[in-house]
Amino acid sequence: MRSCPKVLALILALLVLSRLHATGADTATVPPVDPSLCLSAISASDEDGIIRECGVLIDHEKTEKVDRLKALVARGGALARKDEVERAIADYDAALLLEPGQADVFNARGELWWKKGDRPKALADFGAAIKLNPDHQTARGNYRKLGQELERLGALMAVAGKPSFNCATARRPVEKAICANPELANLDRQIHAVNVRVMREAQSGRERQALQREQDEFVARRNADFGKPGYDLQKVLRDRLQRLLGADGY
């Protein structure tokens, strides 16, 4: 009789172990989610279906890696086409964590960074896509266009706030006013640049002479009228730029 407590304790321990083993077996036998609904939505180009059904596949803990990867890329594309940029980038991030060697995904994420205005990240992604696949023509085109855009932005930053003339030699009050105001300086430089282009594209020498005469008259009026009561230099410059842009066909 004194051995009964030991026997009971052993029986209880065995029961606990058997229940734990049964629970583990139940968890292990949970079937993976069926990827067919997600794949069907992808095949049908059903954006809402892709987001919904592939989302189920992505969130399921038993989804196979290859299926989760396909679902992430598909949902990222659908979200991008719906202009849900942040969510699309998050899906592409997750896809690249699963499989870093995807040139298409790097390029797609780069396009989204470019859309957001984050040019350094976009350029890095395009570069990564090209490194993975040197023949990736879309990534190469994006890299080239973004590089040209960065060059133009750099050139614009170099002359930002500077007029078309040398402020060190400015003598007229209107010129000094333009040099002292970056917005007026930018307008002056733009007027000069557009006028040069309009004259270059003129159809005849007579047309070029007429355009130059108009510009000279504008500058002479600007110089003479500046400082008079009610004279709005910024408005005058904006009006002149708008007239030139109209003449240029833009």
Low-confidence ranges of the chain (pLDDT < 50): 1-3, 7, 10-14, 16-17, 20-27, 248-250
pTM, rounded to two decimals: 0.55
Does residue 8 fall inside a structural domain? Answer: no
**What are the φ and ψ backbone dihedral angles of 196, each rounded to 5 degrees?**
-60, -40
Out of 112, 135, 158, a domain closes at 135
Q: How far apart are CA 58 and CA 74, in angstroms?
A: 11
Looking at residue 162, what is its pLDDT? 81
Looking at residue 8, what is its pLDDT? 53
Range of the domain at 127: 36-135
Does residue 145 fall inside a structural domain? Answer: no
Out of 91, 113, 135, a domain closes at 135
In three-state form (DSSP H/G/I as H, E/B as E, the rest C), the secondary structure along 131-175 is HHCCCCHHHHHHHHHHHHHHHHHHHHHHHCCCCCCCHHHCCCHHH
Residue type, 165: F
Within this chain, do residues 41 and 104 fall inside the same structural domain, yes or no?
A: yes
Does residue 203 fall inside a structural domain? Answer: yes
Does residue 158 fall inside a structural domain? Answer: no
Looking at residue 158, what is its pLDDT? 58
Within this chain, do residues 128 and 174 fall inside the same structural domain, yes or no?
A: no
> Domain holding 83: CATH number?
1.25.40.10
Within this chain, do residues 129 and 40 fall inside the same structural domain, yes or no?
A: yes
* Number of domains the chain contains: 2
Within this chain, do residues 130 and 40 fall inside the same structural domain, yes or no?
A: yes
The residues near 247 (Cβ < 8 Å, ≥ 6 apart) are: 198, 211
